[in-house]
Structure 1
Amino acid sequence: MGRRGKKKGRPVSGWVVLDKPVGMGSTEAVSKVKWLFNADKAGHAGTLDPLASGMLPIALGEATKTVPYVMDGTKVYRFTVTWGEERNTDDLEGVATQNSENRPTKAEVSGVLADYIGVISQIPPVFSAIKIGGERAYDLAREGEAVKIPAREVEIDRLDIIHHDDNSTEFEVECGKGTYVRSLARDMGRQLGCYGHISTLRRLAVDPFTDEDFVTVEELEAARPTISEDDVARPDFSVMDGYVVETAVALDCLPQVPLTDEAAQRVRLGNPVIVRGRDAPIEAEEACATVRGKLVAIGAVEGGQFKPKRVFTA
């Protein structure tokens, strides 16, 4: 008797903007959401450390094709730096490597903020997923190897002090792709001559999503229908699916090309269509085509025509 194939999940597509709790890894969160939705495919846009909480956008189904656009989005973090101690992981998880009795005043902290705004050079933490010679930096660091990671340019739009006391400072930062908040804590601590590490970290936003899109694991668990093992009863996922954000939202950064039903069908078959509408782009290297808010394709606008490059089926 032949072995039965693995059951496929539902072809649900869209974004689940998870409010990830502290202690849960990003891979674990994706697996949990995939199971809760009984989805056939899932992935995330930007790792969030287990010690961090907050926004982890998780793509389901066809939305996984739009992950790079969300990963490029601006991010907002709220974080606390505890002064007086630098750790090898630059957060609470590591061991102390430097100590100081010095504690900065709020004025002293304010005085260095300008050095961390704009395009800056930053060295990622040694305990990071950066690849060095094909190996993850954190794997090399855990094996006791000396890890040298080259500096990279990152962009920080805003860095504000939210609260300051004798031993710590709470900040909010708005930054671009590739910015390590742990490196900010490390570098500010060194510049201030007191050392520092991240003690709390929460991601508040990943463009184009906001905290209004948040959903918790508990909310999803409460909404999940009972699934029969014998597959006789068809579970109703309508409540759960109400938490899914349309795939097209991830492409708000691109010029938008609205299509009629007829034009959408042509595009789904890989054919170009004439771009119509007063606000439609004339030329664009990359654009997003939709019909009634539903994503149809990503493509280019050339010579007054939308030419599909990647078509979406759901």
Structure 2
Amino acid sequence: MARKRKGRDISGWLVVDKPAGMTSTAVVGKVRWALDAKKAGHAGTLDPEATGVLAVALGEATKTVPFITDALKAYEFTVRLGQATNTDDAEGEVIASSDLRPSDDEIKAALSGFVGDIMQVPPQFSAVKVDGQRAYKKARDGEEMELAARPLWVEELLLIERPDADHVVLEMTCGKGGYVRSIARDLGEALGCKAHVKSLRRIWSGPFQASDGLSVTQIDAMARTPDLDAHIQPLEVGLADLAEVRCLAESVARLRNGNPASVIASDVEFGEEVWASFEGKAIAVGIYKSGELHPTRVFVDHGA
């Protein structure tokens, strides 16, 4: 028999401003310990050296993680021109270099080729699975792989600053599954000068802003106190990209049991994915059909 996981049944979101040098998994572990939470997970991995928004889902909010993962997100990153590395970031070994330094206008012109629906090849050092094994494990063993290109929606890619001839600061807004390191690598190839990511920060992800995130130091200072609980955002924040319908009192039990039930909706189309609320609380996510919600995810009420 599996051992029952200990901790509190708390649900919601805690936004962390992840520091460099810490894995996303370690941040989740820190949050779970600090809140004595029974269940926690994050919405979108950040590389260990990256900083910024890491939204940690607690309890029933973990059921809304896919909606944050699929949402638009924005990154600010510094690109080092003139050097390519085997990891496509500053942690790797330099494998090629160039004395060419493109002008700002040349960089801006090249950036336009990375906007819209694009295809990108993940870095060799990435978590993509190849023959059942993570690519980074194979890369560490010196194995070179032909990784398949993947689609990515890039809404915007802007030149923000040019601190010096060797560096440019870019800001990218994109959809799910983007590799900023691949953008830097491919930009360097397009410009003929080689490039890699020197630093990376996720400034927002869906409804969550880095400016609202707690540092790990703050989390440690408030651990196991009501002060930290006060920073938990409602589960419903993770449903911001879905239309809301309201359910009747008599529909609550039916929906929570996974059965279709009547809802009150406006400006919702047949077959649309929506979430149902009762007195402001999320009851279920599902598909709207002819006045009823057909639930695909239901939320347990722990009385919190």
- Indicate the RMSD between aligned Cα atoms, in angstroms: 1.7
Compute the displacement of 1:179 (Å): 1.1
- Number of the residue aligned with 2:286: 299
User: Cα gap change, 1:125/1:7 in structure 2, threshold over 3 Å: closer, same or farther?
Assistant: closer
- Number of the residue aligned with 1:228: none
* DSSP-derived class of the 1:275 partner: strand
* DSSP-derived class of the 2:208 partner: coil
Match of 1:85 among 74, 83, 86: 83
The 8 Å contact of residues 257 and 280 in structure 1, kept in 2 or not, is answered as no
Q: TM-score, normalised by structure 2?
A: 0.93
User: Cα gap change, 1:221/1:260 in structure 2, threshold over 3 Å: closer, same or farther?
Assistant: farther
- Number of the residue aligned with 1:288: 275
User: Cα gap change, 1:313/1:6 in structure 2, threshold over 3 Å: closer, same or farther?
Assistant: closer
Ranges in structure 2 where 5+ consecutive residues have no aligned partner: none
Q: Supply the AA of the counterpart residue of 1:273.
A: A
The 8 Å contact of residues 28 and 42 in structure 2, kept in 1 or not, is answered as yes
Matched, 1:172 2:171: yes
Match of 2:146 among 145, 148, 152: 148
Instruction: Work out the CA distance in 1 between the residues paired with 2:94 and 2:257.
Output: 59
Structure with higher RCO (Cα < 8 A, 6+ apart):
2
The 8 Å contact of residues 10 and 40 in structure 1, kept in 2 or not, is answered as yes
| CA deviation vs aligned residue, 1:50-103 (integer Å, no higher than 9, x gap) | 110001111111111111111111110000001111000000100000011111
| CA deviation vs aligned residue, 1:270-294 (integer Å, no higher than 9, x gap) | 34332225x2635234210112332
- Number of the residue aligned with 1:25: 23
- Number of the residue aligned with 1:8: 6
Instruction: Work out the CA distance in 2 between the residues paired with 1:40 and 1:178.
Output: 28
Instruction: Work out the CA distance in 2 between the residues paired with 1:294 and 1:116.
Output: 40
Q: Supply the AA of the counterpart residue of 2:160.
A: I
User: Cα gap change, 1:175/1:307 in structure 2, threshold over 3 Å: closer, same or farther?
Assistant: same
Instruction: Work out the CA distance in 1 between the residues paired with 2:9 and 2:45.
Output: 24
Instruction: Work out the CA distance in 1 between the residues paired with 2:256 and 2:120.
Output: 43
Compute the displacement of 1:262 (Å): 4.0
User: Cα gap change, 1:73/1:275 in structure 2, threshold over 3 Å: closer, same or farther?
Assistant: same
Instruction: Work out the CA distance in 2 between the residues paired with 1:282 and 1:152.
Output: 31
Instruction: Work out the CA distance in 2 between the residues paired with 1:300 and 1:38.
Output: 34
* DSSP-derived class of the 1:31 partner: helix
Instruction: Work out the CA distance in 2 between the residues paired with 1:88 and 1:205.
Output: 28
Match of 1:257 among 237, 245, 256: 245
Instruction: Work out the CA distance in 1 between the residues paired with 2:287 and 2:190.
Output: 47
The 8 Å contact of residues 298 and 308 in structure 1, kept in 2 or not, is answered as yes
The 8 Å contact of residues 127 and 138 in structure 1, kept in 2 or not, is answered as yes
Match of 2:232 among 222, 232, 244: 244
Q: Supply the AA of the counterpart residue of 2:101.
A: R
Instruction: Work out the CA distance in 2 between the residues paired with 1:201 and 1:282.
Output: 39
Instruction: Work out the CA distance in 2 between the residues paired with 1:224 and 1:70.
Output: 25
Compute the displacement of 1:213 (Å): 3.5
Q: Supply the AA of the counterpart residue of 2:18.
A: K
- Number of the residue aligned with 1:221: 220
| CA deviation vs aligned residue, 1:21-74 (integer Å, no higher than 9, x gap) | 011111111111111111111111111001100011111111111111111111
Compute the displacement of 1:105 (Å): 1.4
Instruction: Work out the CA distance in 2 between the residues paired with 1:7 and 1:283.
Output: 40
Instruction: Work out the CA distance in 2 between the residues paired with 1:47 and 1:270.
Output: 31
Q: Supply the AA of the counterpart residue of 2:10.
A: V
User: In the comparison of the two structures, how many residue pairs are matched?
Assistant: 298
- Number of the residue aligned with 1:186: 185
- Number of the residue aligned with 1:67: 65
Instruction: Work out the CA distance in 2 between the residues paired with 1:191 and 1:271.
Output: 53
* DSSP-derived class of the 1:264 partner: helix
* DSSP-derived class of the 1:23 partner: coil
| Match runs of 1:97-176 below 5 Å | 97-164=95-162, 165-176=164-175
The 8 Å contact of residues 246 and 294 in structure 1, kept in 2 or not, is answered as no
Match of 1:49 among 47, 50, 62: 47
